Every structure is written in structure tokens, then in C-alpha cells.
Amino acid sequence: MGIVIDAFAHVMPKSFCELLLKAYPTLELKELSTFTYFGDMEKRIRVLDKYKIDKQVLTLARPTIWMGMPAKLASKMTPFANDAVAEVAGKYPGRFIPVGTLPVPSEEYLPEFDRCMNELGMAGIQIVSNINGKPLDDPAFKPFFARANATKTPIWIHPQLQKGWSQQYLLDKIFGWPFDTTIAMARLVFSGIMEEFPNLNIVVHHMGGMVPYFSERIKGFHGSSYMPRGNFIPLKKDPLVYFRRFYGDSVLNGAVHAFECGYKFFGPRHSVFATDYPFGPKEGVDWTAGALRQMRAIDIPQKEKELILSGNLMRIIKKR
């Protein structure tokens, strides 16, 4: 089957968790801190070995810990977070691929961007789909995308919660997160960010949320004369061309039909295998098994499976 790389997994190093609990003890962080296996790397390796996953991308869990954090504190805590992720990855050479995190993708954070990539040797940068309600196409974030484009640095976008989403029945996380990913992608496309910066390589969670399912609806509304209030700016290409430049990950929790839909939209060169480990039932084991089940079930050529399992991710990392 070739090399298997989990392109979007999460970690909460114990050292950073303890530090942040003292500085900004939110309910989200307190809940996360009870799940000690998020920082248990020996247990993680046993799971990877059991399911024959060769490498795993480590992104800091979870984006909600930054919500509402004072700007000065976020700026202060970010280097500690990235140091901790790089440190745990470094203890197991060749097994983990560390990715830095910027809670705010603004010009202020560009020195930390550079430090992650040049000093810590990280593979890319994780950002969230909205920053305290501010969309990613806000002018304040353009320098970040310009830097990522110029350096061909891969970006991981994790959805972020918004105020007003119902927490009852966890509707904010079940449906709110994929929805916010969809909005983030749409704003990057319709604002012209994806067109202006052709070297952006962006991995999106949950196979791009609603985008594959509603692709024709996107095309039908963009630039439509019967909806003049859309205020669409002219794009040189069909908007779906830009949407297909994102890399949709396979975090669909074992849903084969959903994976097939995503694969048909993003294609074999813009789909990546991922598990969301260690989130999910049985401390992440169920969703890991489900992601592999999706790969076995989908009827595509073996060469395409190899691209999804590792080839696509390695290609965008090596572009740097």
C-alpha cells in the first residue's frame, strides 16, 4: 500500500496544557486537559503501529482554547505552543510531522511564522477558520497569505466556533465546524485571495465541509444576474477551479459515501488521508479505523490511493 501519512491529527503537549491552564483556564481547555491521552505519545505510536500508519501530522488541539483570549496573552502563548509541538515531534524522529499554529494570521505573527518554518523546522502553519468572528479574507490577514504564497508554505485550516451556535447536543461542533470551514473556503475564493495567490496550498478539515455536496449550487449562484446583491467580484476562472485547489482531508468518521463525494470533487491529487486522532470514540481509535475503512472501500486505482495516503501531502511539503 506504500507509505501512509495521517495528514491532520491533533496533540496537546502536557507542558503547554499546564502552562495555559494557569494563564487562561477556559472551560474548553479544562475539559481537554482531562484527556491525558492527547499528550501520550507512546500510546499514540501504539495506535499508529496497530493501524500501519507510518507518519502523522501534529497540529495543536484545540482551536477553541484561543477564543476570546486577550491579544497580548495569545501573542505570548503562541511560541510556547509551537515549541511544545516541535519538542514532542522531535523525540520520535521520522514518525511525526509538526505543524505550527498561529491563532491570528496577521502581520504581527509573521516573525513566529518564520520561526516555525526556519528554526523549528515545521511543515506548515495551522490557522482557524475565523478569528473571533472576523473572516479570513479580512485585509488584516492578507500579509499572512502573501507570505505563505511566497514561501509555498502549506496551511492547515481548522474550523473555529462562532458565538451563537447552539452547544446543546454539541450542534456547534457536529454541524458548526464543517459549516465554518465552508464559509472560510468560500470567502477565500470569492474575495479573490485564491486567485491572487496561486501558490497557496491549503488543507481543509472534514473534506471541505459542504463544498463537495453543494458544488453546483456554488457555481449557479456565483455572478448570477438574478441575485445582484451578491456583490461578487469578477474571477478569471470558474469559481470551482479555485475551490478544487484546496486539499480536502478524509476526516468523515468512516462515512464511505461522503468520502466518495469528496473524492469526486477534489480528485485524486487534492484529497488527503487523515484521521482527526485522538478525537472520537474509544480515544480516537474508532475514527482512525473508519478513515482506513473509507480508503479500502472506495473503488479507485491503487496509484490514486497512494496519492491520497501520502503522495499529495509529501508533494506540497516538498514544494517549500
The residue extents of the domains of the chain are 5-318
Q: In this predicted model, what pLDDT tens digit does every residue of 229-256 receive, in sequence order? A: 667 888 999 999 999 999 999 999 999 9
For the chain of 320 residues, list the mean pLDDT of each consecutive stretch of 10: 93 96 92 92 98 98 91 97 98 97 98 98 98 96 98 97 84 93 97 98 98 92 64 89 98 96 98 97 96 96 98 90
Q: What is the structure's pLDDT at 110?
A: 98
**CATH superfamily entry for domain 5-318:** Metal-dependent hydrolases (3.20.20.140)
Question: For strand 202-204 and strand 247-249, is the pairing parallel, antiparallel, or unpaired?
Answer: parallel
Cell of 6: 495521517
DSSP per-residue string spanning 83-119: HHHHHHHHTSTTTEEE-EE-SS-SGGGHHHHHIIIII
Close Cβ partners of 240 (under 8 Å, ≥ 6 residues apart) = 215, 218, 219
Close Cβ partners of 193 (under 8 Å, ≥ 6 residues apart) = 136, 137, 142, 145, 187, 200
Q: How far is CA 143 from CA 106, 115, 187, 298, 319, in A?
A: 7, 16, 16, 39, 20
Q: Are the CB atoms for 115 and 79 separated by under 8 Å?
A: yes
